[in-house]
Chains A and B, each alone.
Chain A
């Protein structure tokens, strides 16, 4: 048999014997045996014809080394599970071709590669369908404990490979999965892979199947029949082992009539229960005594604000926060991404800069009232990101109503405008911020006003030196807050 021109017999222990294939393929390739010379045989079914079954493998030829790309072994493991009789031959041919064309597996249009990939795909699908369509039936275990048995007919030789899934999922149960080829038995601790079985070895019912069928029948919507879509994912070959499949034909047959009936039936009158409940809800919803208008009520009303179009896309209104007795009110531009999601002002990146510089300037944020000129986030969507957009004059003007209410409730001694939008909202000033900065301003209600940059401006400066310089100026502006209102200085 070592004659290089004669046929070489390679034996595999079972139909998906990857290790057996790997060892012999390696030895045969090292010996330079051509694919056409090898006769791959499974088991010892016809050992009689080959009395010399234990033929030694041919001697390796000097100078031959084997290398394969990293993804070849996994591909081969899958292909070995395929029921195609030519699988071992195909893999061996690929193994040899890979020696001269190391990138062969990347050439997806190559006939061998295409075939191997298609086989692997079919095996993967079969594996997946087995994890989906095995149905256990309960039996009594040896000591009266609950145990489960399933009957399944896979398309390929996948039973061993799929076993891990069932062990990991049902480790605490005792179960067997019987198939015509091989069977799995798990006793709660170890897995035993045994001979194939027949359908008669499995139980033929389970009390829960009636419940499962009830669920299947009722989760189905007769108004939307898509039989082709169902069959594409649950091919008919699996139906004979699925307890719910017996319902498919009757459900389809009755669907048209049921859907028509739903359309034709006149709506009924609501029940007494509904009418009582609706009355109760109406009573509860009656407005209470006319309120004098508090900050809480303003905040609640702002939640449903639709004074401009921003509410359509923003997550929520972000109202101001802080003590109503605060001596200082900080007004920013508008909530950003994080503020919009959380419903709180100044908590995102700019809010963190604000907190930091406040601390450096010796101020206590918790003593201030912090809010924004515009209470909804304005943005455009770019894929998974939201890009900030400046509010326009109309939006600023619409939201001035809420800012005005907040100023009435808080009546701060000093208002700090963070950025041009805030300055515009507070004073109507539409020119540059620079001309108003570092000046002692007064609002029409007598409160002092300081105009400075928005902390997000500092985040946008690309140049480190400029950022340090501008942060120092911002800190100095906040320092003036402490001088004007000493209550703001942290203890």
Chain B
């Protein structure tokens, strides 16, 4: 077979990379190229485009190769699949990254790879791309490297020095399903590697605090991804696992990726539409635990099967189960209580707290602060406003739940 052209390789190896949901290019060190090199980072990431799947395109997200010796059932690149295979050279990835970057298509590179020859060989190739970009071309843009858990410590150390973020995917919420669906992956090795990363990242931060000249080790931290809907794990199991991952490894993000049909898929997996709404609800629940003071147990305290309600968001679901706690007086309630009101986000709560030092808030004032009053009005008391008996109505949920087909697609 003829060697594929760079264009063909790009086609194959970006198609192979799209099932990783991570796209962030934020919260790294601030850099610019006023004194040489090319590129900058601003602290907050930039999404340079959006695909019709609603996902942001911030980085050139590709695999170095989709040849892989692992046979993970859920993965398009698994050894037993018959997708077209290709392999970039280090220089080809470097050239594409720079050409895209100079035209302002991307913030940088997110590079991953199938496992070829050995974990160390593959990791060394990934590191070589990052090293070439940084040292030969003075690239100051963003680099996210996927780590191979069993790669040796020196390679991991180098990867962390060149990359803004490193990540290892846990892929599935439980050890049992990982063993079943990804027989070559070692769950214990994955968590040990994430533990080691946490210590290195903290060490790097401590050294940077002492001296600005100390090299940063993966300054944008580490993240991971869990596939949702490939195995039978409940939302409760997924969220408990996330809480443990955040708590143990200080992760910046846990990405949830709805298991999606892939070309040439395995007979062992559900071939169905990806559970997009479930993925969305998991993200909402994840946010509630990280920014709104909710415990996982509270979000799923309905006692039925540990699954989130797909019809309404988890905060509204919680509020409907605890109606006695409402309505909340926006002129008096403390931050923790306001954060639990459906329809109020962290920013709106901050604005309410700030403004009410000077004015008693009326409903129309809250309307200037909050994004939407449709749900919110039923759960708050404001100057001259009480929600009335609707809050106790059995039909409130039907009233507030959007029609499902609207949410599913558009």
Contacts and interface: CB of A to CB of B under 8 A. Distances in A.
A304 B100 contact: no
Given A224-B274, A230-B54, A267 B355 contact: no
A358 B192 CA distance: 29
A226 B359 contact: no
A242 B49 contact: yes
B82 interface: yes
Contact of B52 (A214, A225, A267, A314): A225
B32 A267 contact: no
Given A211-B10, A220-B51, A316 B79 contact: no
Nearest to B13: A218
Contacts of B42: 131, 165
A341 interface: yes
Contacts of A148: 102-103
Interface stretch (B122-130, B260-268, B391-399): B260-268
A136 interface: yes
B310 to A, nearest CB: 16
Interface in A385-427: 385-386
B10 A215 contact: yes
Contact of B358 (A103, A133, A173, A267): A103
B312 interface: no
A216 B34 contact: no
A170 B37 CA distance: 9
Given A225-B409, A230-B52, A386-B248, A136 B358 contact: no
B260 A133 contact: no
Contacts of A248: 52
Contact of A343 (B18, B104, B195): B195
A169 interface: yes
Interface in A318-368: 338, 340-343
Interface stretch (B56-64, B209-217, B299-307): B56-64
Nearest to B31: A168
Contact of B359 (A109, A210, A265, A313): A109
Contacts of A136: 102-104
A220 to B, nearest CB: 4
Interface string B11-52: 100110111000000000000111011111010001111111
Interface string A216-241: 11111111111111100110000000
A277 B115 CA distance: 13
Contacts of A106: 354-355, 357-358
Interface string B78-89: 011110000000
B1 interface: no
B320 interface: no
A224 B260 contact: yes
A138 B355 CA distance: 50
Contact of A270 (B82, B258, B263, B365): B82
A441 to B, nearest CB: 36
A7 B409 CA distance: 56
A8 B56 CA distance: 49
Nearest to A104: B358
A45 to B, nearest CB: 33
A54 interface: no
B250 interface: yes
B272 interface: yes
Interface in B61-76: 61-62, 69, 71
Interface stretch (A376-384, A452-460, A478-486): A376-384
A27 B50 CA distance: 47
B51 A216 contact: yes
B132 to A, nearest CB: 17
Contact of B46 (A131, A215, A223, A384): A131
A297 to B, nearest CB: 16
Interface residues of B, number: 89
Interface in A410-454: none
B271 interface: yes
B99 interface: yes
A270 B51 contact: no
Given A219-B18, A381-B243, A228 B410 contact: yes
A224 B99 contact: no
A70 interface: no
A9 interface: no
Nearest to A249: B52
B53 interface: yes
A221 B365 contact: no
Contact of B96 (A168, A169, A211, A224): A211
A226 B52 contact: yes
B84 to A, nearest CB: 11
A273 to B, nearest CB: 8
Contacts of B196: 341-343
Given A108-B368, A109-B355, A342-B195, 12 more contacts: A107-B359, A136-B102, A170-B33, A210-B7, A215-B14, A221-B18, A221-B19, A229-B54, A259-B273, A265-B263, A304-B188, A338-B199
* 5 pairs of A and B residues whose beta carbons are closest in the complex: A226-B54, A229-B54, A381-B247, A270-B80, A341-B195
Interface of A: 103, 106-109, 114, 128, 131-138, 148, 150, 165, 167-173, 206, 208, 210-212, 214-230, 233-234, 242, 244, 248, 251-252, 255, 259, 262-263, 265, 267-271, 274, 277-278, 281, 303-304, 311-317, 338, 340-343, 379, 381-386
24 contacts: A106-B357, A109-B355, A136-B102, A168-B32, A171-B33, A172-B33, A215-B100, A216-B49, A218-B15, A223-B273, A225-B53, A226-B52, A230-B53, A255-B52, A259-B273, A265-B264, A278-B80, A311-B188, A315-B249, A316-B191, A341-B196, A341-B249, A381-B246, A381-B248
